[in-house]
Structure 1
Amino acid sequence: MKKDDAEKREDFINYKSQIADNGFSVISNIFSEEEIETIGQMIGQIDTSKETFRKSEDLFAIRQFLKEIPEIKDLIFNDNIKKLIKEVFGEQYFVVKSIYFDKPEKSNWYVAYHQDLTISVDNKTVLPNFGPWTTKQNQFAVQPPLDMLENIYTIRIHLDDTDEQNGALKVIPGSHAKGIYRPETIDWNTETEHICNVDKGGVMIMKPLILHGSNRTTNGKKRRVIHIEFSDRELPEEIQWSEKERVE
């Protein structure tokens, strides 16, 4: 049974509240089986030899994903995603970063608890309150002021069923509201861990400051995720977002 507009609005309010309180929300059935299949086929046809691609036994990743496969945008930004962006983030939010991750069936890729503390920009320069800087595969990244990080939302689109046995994200609820939170200072007497199981075609929305990580794959099943970050902030004129793009 389809939901009416009032029920959908209530859902959006609940998602926004969950993200504000806990730093994340998991939402099912954003993409159909057919949409996920088509997205996977399109990714499987691309040339993987470029500098923005990272390929190993444990991980395959595409940086600047939406730039590398521009024809995939119409599939990614379906009506459900557009509504989420508008109602949960805000009408002024735009894409600032995109990555595709493929954690293969036998992956030993383990990610320790961390916060996402950098943004991707087009060049490196000296700016007050911006730093430190890093460069990966010709991509400049910098830690911006805290309020800019607090304003970002991330959507993680799941192309496979994901649970704790194939690298689902584990998070510490509420940690996004505690500023810069060093993993080595986690007090497990007061903090709790939550595993974010997401069904194929579902999404996880998270704040980049939430402490998160993932375990190695143990069930022989792959985990493919499209990671897209959104902001509504403009940067100082000396730098630009490396992937700024509005969702029409």
Structure 2
Amino acid sequence: MNVNDDVQFYKENGYLLVRGVFNEEEVLEMRAAVERIINRAAQNQADTNHAWQGDFLPPEQLKKLVLKGFHDVHYHDAAFTRAVIHPKMTAVLNKIIGPNVQLHHSKMLVKPPANGAAFPMHQDFPYFPHHNHSMLAASVHLDDADEENGCLAVIPGSHLQGPLPHVGKHYLNHKEYPISSGTLCPAKAGDVLFFNYLTIHGSDVNRSDRTRRNVLFQYRDAADKPSEQVHFDWGMGLMVSGENVDFKNVKPNFELTKV
């Protein structure tokens, strides 16, 4: 594909898989950073399970599933700060979003072998709704991902439906939108899957003997503002590319309250 084809594909389908954004050395650096974060979390008794709950799987299966997830990884290790503003990342973001790009948040997701938890199909919109829907996720693959170890699946063109009602704000009706309804997006380590926050996506259980590690960066147009006061954190609004033309709105308005 050329640049124009890439942009058109994203507009029509709501996602774009870009190969080889990060080289082997950069991938190894981020893998090591993930391991250090998990170890520090365990030492500080902050190593919680983020596996999704619900009726999309039998209860006995849900109990066995594990998902390591931590937000704001760029606060925990500089490897991810470098990745957030990587030239190859911003080149794609400028094509899709435009010249002025902000980071909203980052997180890591680790599916361990054999029992790595599934993500039922959902949109990201309910978690951090914005007025102009420029928000997208950039899922950085730190391992090869395929159907066996729970690669991401998307429903092409689903972003054009707009926001959909979710079960408890977390996931779509799994009978109407089973994971099998999505198009699998197998990827190699170093590849990045970009998808709009309205694009329906999810992933199945890791049934392999291989770990599936992803780091996800959520980006938006600097002019696109939240439509609800939800999912704010201290780093929201970091300029990744271009400029913030709204001089009076350069950081979130936080209030500290007594517990």
TM-score category (smaller protein): 0.7 to 0.9
Please show how residues 140-159 of structure 1 align to structure 2 within 5 Å.
144=129, 147-148=131-132, 150-159=133-142
Answer yes or no: is the 8 Å Cα contact 2:152–2:184 preserved in 1. Answer: yes
Please show how residues 1-248 of structure 1 align to structure 2 within 5 Å.
11-46=2-37, 47-49=40-42, 54-55=48-49, 58-70=66-78, 72-119=80-127, 144=129, 147-148=131-132, 150-182=133-165, 183-184=172-173, 193-232=182-221, 233-235=224-226, 241-242=232-233, 243-244=235-236, 245-247=238-240
Moved more, 82-91 or 179-188: 179-188
Answer yes or no: is the 8 Å Cα contact 1:52–1:64 preserved in 2. Answer: no
Q: May I ask how many residue pairs the two structures share in their alignment?
A: 212
AA aligned opposite 2:240: V
Deviation of 1:54 (Å): 3.2
Q: Take 2:13 and 2:67, find their aligned partners in 1: how far apart are those partners?
A: 28
TM-score of the two chains, using structure 1 as the length reference: 0.75
Q: Take 1:175 and 1:237, find their aligned partners in 2: how far apart are those partners?
A: 22
Q: Take 1:216 and 1:65, find their aligned partners in 2: how far apart are those partners?
A: 23
Which whole-Å deviations, capped at 9, do the CAs of 1:27-82 have from their partners, x for residues lacking one? 11111111101111123223214587534761111112222324531244322112
AA aligned opposite 2:15: F
Q: Take 2:74 and 2:47, find their aligned partners in 1: how far apart are those partners?
A: 13
Which whole-Å deviations, capped at 9, do the CAs of 1:68-126 have from their partners, x for residues lacking one? 3245312443221121122222111100011101111122412211111234xxxxxxx
Deviation of 1:154 (Å): 1.1
Instruction: Pick closer, same or farther for the CA change 1:177–1:55 going to 2, 3 Å.
Output: same
Runs (5+) with no aligned partner, structure 1: 1-9, 120-142
Which whole-Å deviations, capped at 9, do the CAs of 1:170-194 have from their partners, x for residues lacking one? 1211111101234339868xx9531
TM-score of the two chains, using structure 2 as the length reference: 0.72
Runs (5+) with no aligned partner, structure 2: 51-64, 166-171, 242-259
Answer yes or no: is the 8 Å Cα contact 1:175–1:181 preserved in 2. Answer: no
Q: Take 1:185 and 1:48, find their aligned partners in 2: how far apart are those partners?
A: 32
Q: Take 1:93 and 1:53, find their aligned partners in 2: how far apart are those partners?
A: 32
SS at match of 2:173: helix
Q: Runs in 1 of length 4+ with deviation above 6 angstroms? A: 185-188, 236-240
Answer yes or no: is the 8 Å Cα contact 1:115–1:209 preserved in 2. Answer: yes
Which whole-Å deviations, capped at 9, do the CAs of 1:148-189 have from their partners, x for residues lacking one? 4x221110000000011111111211111101234339868x
Answer yes or no: is the 8 Å Cα contact 1:173–1:192 preserved in 2. Answer: no
| CA RMSD after TM alignment | 2.9
Instruction: Pick closer, same or farther for the CA change 1:86–1:53 going to 2, 3 Å.
Output: farther
Answer yes or no: is the 8 Å Cα contact 1:115–1:210 preserved in 2. Answer: yes
Deviation of 1:17 (Å): 1.2
Q: Take 2:175 and 2:159, find their aligned partners in 1: how far apart are those partners?
A: 13
Q: Take 2:10 and 2:29, find their aligned partners in 1: how far apart are those partners?
A: 29
Instruction: Pick closer, same or farther for the CA change 1:73–1:117 going to 2, 3 Å.
Output: same
